[in-house]
Structure 1
Amino acid sequence: MRRRRADFEEFWALDDVSFEIPQGTTFGLIGDNGSGKSTLLKTMAKILHPDRGRIRLDGRVAALLEVGSGFHPELSGRDNVRLNGAILGMSRAEIDRKFDAIVDFAGVEQFIDQPVKNYSSGMYVRLGFAIAINVDPEILLVDEVLAVGDAAFQDKCAEKFVDFKREGRTVVVVSHSLPSLQNMCDEVAWLSHGKLVESGTASPILDRYLESTRADAHVDADGASHWGSGEATIDAVELLTDGERVDRPLHTGDEVTVRVHYTARQRVERPVFGLAIWSKGGVHLWANNSRDTDRPVEAIEGRGVRDCTVPALALQNGSFRVDAAITDPTTTHVYDYLRSAAEFSVARRPAEEMGGFVALNGAWADPVPTAPSTTGASQA
């Protein structure tokens, strides 16, 4: 207009992003706000089309990008199930067949014939989620809907994702809940400002991403990753057994002492020392701190050590890492958190339990003789 040329600035929401998602895996997209995660998911769902490059999808796709986005507020829940199901690609026969399961999953049986404008926000999103998850896709795209509904409904959603994984379906999920992604995902892709930082096995990448989000995080010369305010810092963590430093695989039942070497640059009142053990796959197995176990520390200043002894290691064979922390008495303010402060492995000996993480020392009893059956015996 007025013979003026439009002024604009070109912005690439995604630039040179390339990776493969293996079939049958749960794959996470992580990154800060504005990194391009949702744009990428919408491109996978074919809502947006890439200006360059291509996305190849092998299988039927369902997308949970905005739960309940196809609902009409004046229509009843029943009518919206049919409408939203059709929008998501379900046939009339398929909707009829799955209708009861959708309503039961959402938990809105009493209100299914009421206009959805009268639904609570929780009922609204539960119904939308129940419809989308029953589309029976081979590839499910999920954007920030892992926290819909109450705790009971979230458990049902988690079970549904486990079923998808068991059935060999592929799930691509965007979420800022790192514990959820740690538990769900086999692999992740980390995006930053529209570019791919890295992709691969979930646990180590999630750890590196978490460290990058800490404004006070830093890496020592030996590669150890710390974050915290720094009034007291952890110099090293070592594992001891039989009074000697651990230099071999441990065994189930061994007594193990975790020794924390620290430096307090000033007097720190009532510090709390904490430890955690994680599996190599990122499963949180154990935590212990000096406050909750009623071993308070009055104050620390200068260099020192604190020991925590586990009388009988209850872990089965595998590889594990130890995290250590020093916090204030509330445990909400962190002076120092050292990730992967130590690593160790547990080897299996003959005649020990196998499978899982914990050793419960289950014992099988000798067979108990049973009285012979009298069924059908004739009476004298």
Structure 2
Amino acid sequence: MDNQTVISIKNVSKAFKIYRDKPLTIKEKILKLRSNEYSNFYALNDVSLDIQRGETIGLIGHNGCGKSTLLKLITKILYPDSGEIKVNGRISSLIELGAGFHPDFTGRENIYINASIFGLSRREINEKIDEIIEFSELGEFIENPVRTYSSGMYMRLAFSVAINVEPEILLIDEILSVGDANFQKKCYEKIEGFKRDGATIVIVTHDLGTIEKICDRVYWLNEGCVIEHGEADRVVNLYTQRMNKQYINQRQEEYRKESESNDSATKVESSQDDNDVSSFTDETRWGSKEVIITEARILNQLRENTNIVAAGELITIEIDYKIIKPQKEYIFGVGIYTSDKVLVYGNNTQLDKLKIQSLNQNGTVKFYIHDFNLLTGNYKLNVAIVDDNHIALDFIKFYMDFSVVSNDKAVGLFSINHNWEVN
């Protein structure tokens, strides 16, 4: 390991035993009433990476991918089953905050205990204790037993100790939500100060904005393996795309199962005899019913009935109709609203110069959106049929709710194709 490499991880693996039928009592263990069969779960599998002095490294990935296990191996809370980890520098870990606290000791006494775990001498702690107490914002409560602290006070004290020991290497695991907004801001400023002073930082968090903001490089872990690493914005963008796709697929599967088990919940039921419109009130559905909408739906680019859409893809809005009394002209329309019921987009066949004067008694009108460029959010769909005088035949307001997932981080409603140029 050269002088600039402060953490060297070579071919590290760590497995945990998952028992199929674990004995729960001494009797079961002695009499072997339960099987001791188990399988190995590899939290990390042949992971290698080097972290240079002064770098800020982010570890990202879904829960259970091995991020926290890797940090615990670096701090020697855990030990690898195989491979080698070398660390060159004093570590402060914001992983299991307050792990060394004693509930019956005061906050001040626990500062001495916890700081000594990080390797500080009593003289060094004496020099820093006022700074630690001030940073924690605990005031007079510092003389009370920590068992009387709220969870927020407990975590603030533990964070204050860990972050004020002037580490050469700082490991952070999902604890940047400690305290209120002002305390969090102070914590970020402290971490930024470490970064400016040349400390090496390894951070695990699901806050991808923080990762992009402060990290030089990012490692993306999946099922115990590093599947991508490099500059923060590139890796975070790839990870976001993967997570969005998985989220859409999960929501789509849930929608499919719900539709199969309760198909009538998403339909406007009607019949020629009684035109049952009980699914909607008079405030959300109106018209002469001389032509009725029997069902409407959104289809994704795979032609699946859905209520979640990936931005930028082809979607289709289909309106099934039934003619009770023929009309001179039929105008079909759609409207898209925000969840706050603000109109985003509206269109109809007449606006697009499509004159419809003859239809089958039953049929489907399809509205294709080739590049659906709304930003991430929740939306509502209107569907309608009106006659040539724009008198409603069947108008259904907020027929269904749907969601859009976009990889664009812009704010607002629409994703706009653009670029910047600086001269």
TM-score by length of 1: 0.65
Partners of 1:112 and 1:184 in 2: how far apart? 32
Q: Who is 1:302 aligned against?
A: 367
Between 207-216 and 102-111, report the one with greater CA deviation.
Answer: 207-216
Q: Work out whether 1:168 is the aligned partner of 2:198.
A: yes
Contact 1:76 1:112 in 2 (8 A): yes
Residue in structure 2 matching 1:75, options 105, 112, 124: 105
Partners of 2:162 and 2:195 in 1: how far apart? 16
The amino acid of 2:228's aligned partner reads: E
Q: Work out whether 1:62 is the aligned partner of 2:92.
A: yes
Partners of 1:231 and 1:126 in 2: how far apart? 40
| Aligned pairs, number | 283
CA shift in 2, pair 1:102/1:329, >3 Å: farther
Partners of 1:298 and 1:132 in 2: how far apart? 56
Contact 1:35 1:194 in 2 (8 A): yes
CA shift in 2, pair 1:206/1:235, >3 Å: closer
Please report the RMSD computed on the Cα atoms of aligned residues, expressed in angstroms. Answer: 3.5
Residue in structure 2 matching 1:194, options 205, 224, 227: 224
TM-score by length of 2: 0.59
Structure with more helix by fraction: 2
Contact 2:378 2:402 in 1 (8 A): yes
The amino acid of 1:348's aligned partner reads: V
Residue in structure 2 matching 1:48, options 50, 61, 78: 78
1:235-283 Cα shifts (integer Å, max 9, x gaps): 58xxxxxxxxxxxxxxxxxxxxxxxx9864556543349xxxxxxxxxx
Partners of 1:232 and 1:144 in 2: how far apart? 30
Q: Work out whether 1:270 is the aligned partner of 2:336.
A: yes
Structure of greater relative contact order (alpha carbons < 8 Å, 6+ residues apart): 1
Q: Who is 2:184 aligned against?
A: 154
Residue in structure 2 matching 1:24, options 26, 35, 54: 54
Report the alpha carbon displacement of residue 3 of structure 1 after superposing the two structures with TM. 11
CA shift in 2, pair 1:30/1:2, >3 Å: same
The amino acid of 1:99's aligned partner reads: I
Q: Who is 2:243 aligned against?
A: 213
Partners of 1:135 and 1:3 in 2: how far apart? 51
Contact 2:47 2:225 in 1 (8 A): yes
Q: Work out whether 1:180 is the aligned partner of 2:219.
A: no
Contact 1:14 1:194 in 2 (8 A): yes
Partners of 1:233 and 1:194 in 2: how far apart? 28
* Secondary structure of the structure 1 residue equivalent to 2:46: coil
Contact 2:248 2:309 in 1 (8 A): no
Q: Work out whether 1:328 is the aligned partner of 2:396.
A: no
* Secondary structure of the structure 1 residue equivalent to 2:220: strand
Query: Which structure 1 residue ranges, 5 or more long, are not aligned?
Result: 219-227, 237-260, 274-290, 307-321, 350-380
Partners of 2:130 and 2:142 in 1: how far apart? 11
Identity of aligned pairs, percent? 38
CA shift in 2, pair 1:303/1:42, >3 Å: same
Contact 2:336 2:380 in 1 (8 A): yes
Q: Work out whether 1:12 is the aligned partner of 2:62.
A: no
Q: Who is 2:422 aligned against?
A: 348
